[in-house]
Structure 1
Amino acid sequence: MVGTTLNGLFGNSETPLQTVTRMVGEQDKQLGIDLNQQSDVFHFGFRSKKSYFSVNSSLICETSIRIPKDLLGLAFLGNSAYIDKDADLDFSGNQFRSYLKNTFSYGRFITDKLSVGVNASLINGIMDFSMDQARFQVGTDTGTSTIYSLQLSGEMHGRASVLGVDLDKAVNDSTYDANKTALDQLGQIQLGTNQGKAFGFGAVYRLNEKWRFSAAVQNLGSIVWDLGVQEIHMNKSQWEWNGLDTSEIKNLDADFATRLQDTVLDKFGITGTEIAPYKTKLNPRYTLGAEFFITPRTQVQAFGGYGYGSIGDKSFVSASVHQELGEWVDVRMGYSLYDFTDPNHRLSLGLSLNLGPLQIFGSVNDVLSIVNYGTTSVSSGMVGLNINIGRRKDKDYDEIPDSKDSCSASFGYFKNNGCPDAFVADAAKYKTPKKDDTLQKNSIETLPKVIETLDKEAVPALIDTEELKENEVTEETSTPEIEVAPQTPEIEVIENPVSESTEAIIID
């Protein structure tokens, strides 16, 4: 409810009549319901080297309902509460829109620290209904002879595309079956009808292994409605109703309601007229975010955004903590402030179970509404299931799969094969030279004799000293060298025949 709380509706300190009287008298508040629902019908994504592709199909419904408080007052208090003033029934701003959104997204690492993404959506509109103006007044005649007299006046203007339903017939022809028409048309919707397009883009910048920043602009687009498009119109009209003759109440038959409805429609003349296709803009959304990794499995996130809500006029800020408990369980806890003009404070809790390719998740988006229902006006939750096909592990969260990460335990970069620095990557890639089999087959006790034998075989007694020096130089120049980049610490590989291992020593 816009401007109300659950405690305001159901508080036990007031009687129902006292609650309604108070709500009607609060001029700075209004009654209404805003619903923004997105159901993901299909999602598929895959990654190739530095690029990521995804396809997503979502059904989106946006609803904004405004309920005049005086309508509630008339229902509970009667027209006696409106002797000195007219009841104002303003339905302006009511709207409903639903559409199917098919989105293709592409993301790519531009550098080791910067990644960008774009998306394009093809939209198929299902239904659109909006009331630009719909206002009525109900006045009570205080004259003694006409105590039951009511003066009704009003005017209305709107437009709609409701699955091909003829609104003029739906309002004025009681034999017209609008439901059947809508259901028949729903099964025949094609991509070429009520077509729209949308675009978005974003970027993520990884300052280092601890900090990551993001920004995005989404939902830039519109929908052109061309299926059964009509204008709803009612000229400003007035009607005086003198109430019911109580002496004839006993003679009421089943057609009474129909006759009363026909009289009202005749007096106010509500019509539906076919019009040219019209365009509605989507609500652009803007977000900024920052993430701080306390450890590779613990991160703090902060986000802010504008353009949310059913009509795109809501903002939010949020902060959350994400903790991974091993490989199987993820826990989230967050706080958010939604809608600065009518603040809603929300504390959320979430849990996900990573069961191989299956991820089961659930969350309560507003714990405070359960703990103290008198301080919030919204309560919601979510459950879902993700199916991951070909998921690759990334223990250090550097966006490089462990299978291609030379330093899978340390945050690194693409150009360094997943290592934080180039010289570490070179050392990780260096292959140990093949050892001499003779040394590997002898124990430490026979090592002196083996060395003596090798010396005798390699340097005969009759060889000339100068030739020996030349041979030593030749052997030295034929030894494989390790290329070292300028201003990079030198790496010396020392072979230890005793332990049969190779050590990489960094020499300052």
Structure 2
Amino acid sequence: MVGKYKIGFLSSNRPLQVGLFVVVVFILLPNFLNAQISRSVYFHEQLPESSIQNPAFSPSCKFYVSLPIISTLYVGFESPFAYDHLTEEWENSDSLYIDRETILDKLDDVNYFSFEVFDQLAGLGFGAGRHFFSLKVANVFSTKFAFEKDLIKFILYGNGSEDFLGKHTTLSKTGLNMTLYKEFSLGYSFQVNEKLTVGTNLKYLNGDFNVWTEKAEFKIFTDDQTNYAITASSDINIHTSSTISSFDNLIFQIGNYSKFDMTGNHGYAVDFGVKFEPNEKFKFSASVVDLGTINWTENVKNFKSANPGVEYVFEGFDVVNLISGGAIEDSIQLVDTLVNHFQLEENTNSYNSHLNPKVYLGGTWNINQKNNLGLLVRTDFVDELTKLSYTVNYTHRFGNILSISINYSLVNKTYGNFGLGIVSKLGPVQLYLLNDFAYGFTQPKSAQAYNFHFGLSFVFGTRNIKVKEESGGVGGYE
């Protein structure tokens, strides 16, 4: 059957095809588990965490404090396809098959998995007139794994496919950027006048772990003769640094409050934001966040091609035949051959990795005192890849105690992304739970994204700023 491979999970047939695909996708997926908080929080300026996405935003309280463990936690995952896109069941059978065309239809030319954790350890802020100051300390686990559609096509169809046979193929957009770091953020917002507010976050970063693929270029040509000989070359430059002994310890370190050791990996970043309110009905805002780098000097290991661009010829085999019925020993021998030919040199030179910046453009229509309608356009920059997402938000307020919001987002070519949010304030306790992809909790096998964002702060007082305009420039405040 064209475009389908049987998976013998529930029968005796276990073709190597499935194993190879699982290695490339599912094993990579959990281990490549960037960072930013949920899109929903952008529409709740009363939350202290909204300034993470736009530093011009500030809460209406005079003072707030967020305590360890109960402060703020965001976890989010986004994928170009869901589990149900990968497998189907045969009719009248308990076995599964991989529908290759369905998988490829879901992919862009360049795609990425992302896994994000923002674990705020503590925070506080206070307002003084038109000024608002904040300080936040957080663990950030930031990961994006980019890959090309041609790579998946090569795995699914092999080099004997008409898309590769007798043709030159270049794979140069696949790579991993995974970082764990501590973030110390000093925020400041200033109300210039009744309509305009500006803000910035100045951040010191202290790195714990990093894998950065600066370059991974592979050029492949398959001979259109019957032996399927492959001519290939590579140019690889991968950087790593770790003060953590194992992956298990890496996961533990994300939420470890008792051990907060500083390292010699120093970095800096900055955010900029602006908010413009032409009248009481409308608000427009824009921000650029995570402009920064980290210099990695501790336990550095870099891997670079010893002979970049040098071509090697592998005597012919059809990858489809190999992975459909070949022995495990054949695949191991193939991997050994590739490793031996694509030799990598190792060094311990320090290097700089960059954060993945984001741009937010937002607008809000205050329909009345109880109802808001908002729009957010978010742009993610991952190396040379740019990804756009769009979110529409409706929020209803029940007095000053409770607000409930509903979101709809277009992300990764998916159109069923509804999210829910609730923000409550009982005395000084401000509690919120936000989600951009509720479908991920009700239908996990069909969802391409999951996230949740929880936070609790203690807020005190209410700021009441009235800006006084003076001729010739910005005046003071009353």
Change in CA separation of 1:114 and 1:269 when aligned onto 2, cut-off 3 Å: closer
Query: Is the Cα contact below 8 Å between 2:282 and 2:365 reproduced in 1?
Result: yes
Residue 342 of structure 2 corresponds to 268
Number of residues paired by the alignment? 371
CA-based RMSD of the aligned residues comes to 4.8
Per-residue CA deviation, residues 284-322 of structure 1 (Å, 9 max, x unaligned), is: 433232323333332222233334568661223332121
Change in CA separation of 1:70 and 1:130 when aligned onto 2, cut-off 3 Å: closer
Change in CA separation of 1:178 and 1:140 when aligned onto 2, cut-off 3 Å: farther
Measure the CA separation in 2 of the matches of 1:256 and 1:304. Answer: 49
Change in CA separation of 1:158 and 1:297 when aligned onto 2, cut-off 3 Å: same
User: Residue type of the partner of 1:391?
Assistant: F
Per-residue CA deviation, residues 351-376 of structure 1 (Å, 9 max, x unaligned), is: 234344444433331346678999x8
Measure the CA separation in 2 of the matches of 1:180 and 1:379. Answer: 24
User: Residue type of the partner of 2:133?
Assistant: F
Q: Which structure is richer in relative contact order (CA contacts within 8 A, separation 6 or more)? A: 2
TM-score with structure 1 setting the length: 0.58
Query: Matches of residues 204-353 of structure 1 in structure 2 within 5 Å?
Result: 204-227=275-298, 228-235=300-307, 236-238=310-312, 240=314, 264-275=338-349, 277-307=350-380, 313-338=386-411, 342=413, 344=415, 346-353=417-424
Per-residue CA deviation, residues 42-71 of structure 1 (Å, 9 max, x unaligned), is: 242222332221112231412224266566
Change in CA separation of 1:67 and 1:317 when aligned onto 2, cut-off 3 Å: closer
Shift in Å at residue 104 of structure 1? 0.5
* Alignment partner of 1:120 is 2:194: no
Measure the CA separation in 1 of the matches of 2:168 and 2:103. Answer: 14
Measure the CA separation in 1 of the matches of 2:402 and 2:191. Answer: 29
User: Residue type of the partner of 2:238?
Assistant: R
* Alignment partner of 1:153 is 2:235: no
Query: Is the Cα contact below 8 Å between 2:210 and 2:240 reproduced in 1?
Result: yes
- Identify unmatched segments of 5+ residues in structure 1: 166-176, 244-253, 401-411, 417-424, 426-508
Residue 55 of structure 1 corresponds to 135
Change in CA separation of 1:72 and 1:206 when aligned onto 2, cut-off 3 Å: closer
Change in CA separation of 1:156 and 1:189 when aligned onto 2, cut-off 3 Å: farther
TM-score with structure 2 setting the length: 0.61
Shift in Å at residue 191 of structure 1? 5.0
Query: Is the Cα contact below 8 Å between 1:239 and 1:267 reproduced in 2?
Result: no
Measure the CA separation in 1 of the matches of 2:360 and 2:189. Answer: 17
Measure the CA separation in 2 of the matches of 1:222 and 1:113. Answer: 33
Change in CA separation of 1:298 and 1:7 when aligned onto 2, cut-off 3 Å: same
- Identify unmatched segments of 5+ residues in structure 2: 1-77, 318-327, 470-477
Query: Is the Cα contact below 8 Å between 1:103 and 1:121 reproduced in 2?
Result: yes
Q: Among residues 460, 467, 470, which one is paired with 1:391 in the alignment?
A: 460
Measure the CA separation in 1 of the matches of 2:85 and 2:117. Answer: 29
* Alignment partner of 1:9 is 2:78: no
Measure the CA separation in 1 of the matches of 2:249 and 2:449. Answer: 35
* Alignment partner of 1:382 is 2:455: no
* Alignment partner of 1:196 is 2:267: yes
Query: Matches of residues 36-47 of structure 1 in structure 2 within 5 Å?
Result: 36-47=115-126
Larger radius of gyration: 1
Q: Give the match's secondary structure for 2:186.
A: strand
Query: Is the Cα contact below 8 Å between 2:396 and 2:403 reproduced in 1?
Result: yes
> Percent identical across equivalent pairs?
16
Query: Is the Cα contact below 8 Å between 1:36 and 1:63 reproduced in 2?
Result: yes
More strand by share: 2
User: Residue type of the partner of 2:466?
Assistant: Y
Q: Give the match's secondary structure for 2:274.
A: strand
User: Residue type of the partner of 2:213?
Assistant: S
Change in CA separation of 1:116 and 1:43 when aligned onto 2, cut-off 3 Å: farther
Change in CA separation of 1:263 and 1:48 when aligned onto 2, cut-off 3 Å: closer
Change in CA separation of 1:11 and 1:267 when aligned onto 2, cut-off 3 Å: closer
Residue 187 of structure 2 corresponds to 105
